[in-house]
Amino acid sequence: MSFDLTTCATSRAVILVEGMSDQAALETLAERRGRALAAEGISIVRMAGATNVGRFVELLGPRGLGVRLAGLCDAAEEGYFRRALERAGLGSGMSRADREAHGFYVCTADLEDELIRALGTAAVEQIIQAQGEIRSFRIFQKQPAQQRRSPERQLHRFMGTRSGRKSQYARLLAGALDLTRVPRPLDRVLAYV
């Protein structure tokens, strides 16, 4: 977990994310847009999973240190974020639009899905080729469990087959995005802070 209470307490804003790949993508996009988040007083906190969001919202949010919070999560984890924001007193029966008004955004499926969709499979395969992993990916595609999946789902699964690969590709894919086509949740969470 990447969490330094002292840094967060002195931050102007904190973006809560599930893991390393989310942090890597957001840092890359911010850098590409000429933003130095640390210099702006913005921290990205990896929570080691969405189930921990309540703890971080209580500690850092309005009932805790009062730091301006934002967040990014996968669609499957949206409920954890909704409940944490409601427990923190930010509203009840919150819709997605309500949570977005408080700076919390949801990836359609997850981060990898957003990035693959924004770039397209051909561009993602070119990035895999540039990393010297296209042969591994082609072998992976031939596995019986992968043959019925779409190319997008194969790419998504491939990125999770080795430790550190999700973060590696999150940074590379975010680095390859056309800055006018940044997936909405990533674009909005950075704009919020």
Mean pLDDT by 10 residues, the chain (193 residues): 76 96 98 97 95 95 94 96 94 94 96 98 98 97 96 96 96 98 98 97
Same structural domain, 11 and 89: yes
Same domain, 25 and 52: yes
Shared domain check, 122 and 90: no
Identify whether residues 59 and 132 lie together within a single domain: no
Q: pLDDT tens digits for 156-181?
A: 999 999 999 999 999 999 999 999 99
Q: pTM of the predicted model, to two decimals?
A: 0.94
Q: Which CATH number covers residue 57?
A: 3.40.50
- Note whether 85 and 163 are same-domain residues: no
> Do the beta carbons of residue 72 and residue 190 sit within 8 Å?
no
Same domain assignment for residues 28 and 105: yes
Cα separation, 98 vs 116, in Å, equals 27
Domain count, the chain: 2
Angle CA 171–141–144, to nearest 5: 135
Predicted confidence (pLDDT) per residue in 25-45, tens digit: 999 999 999 999 999 999 999
Q: Tokens at residue 72, please?
A: 């990014």
80 and 9, same domain (yes or no): yes
Closest-CA residue to 123 (of 58, 178, 42): 178
Residues 6 or more apart whose Cβ sits within 8 Å of residue 92: 86
User: In terms of domains, do 9 and 86 share one?
Assistant: yes
Domain interval for residue 157: 112-176
Per DSSP, 108 falls in state: S
Our measurement of the distance from residue 155's CA atom to the centroid of its chain's CA atoms, rounded to an integer in Å, reads: 17
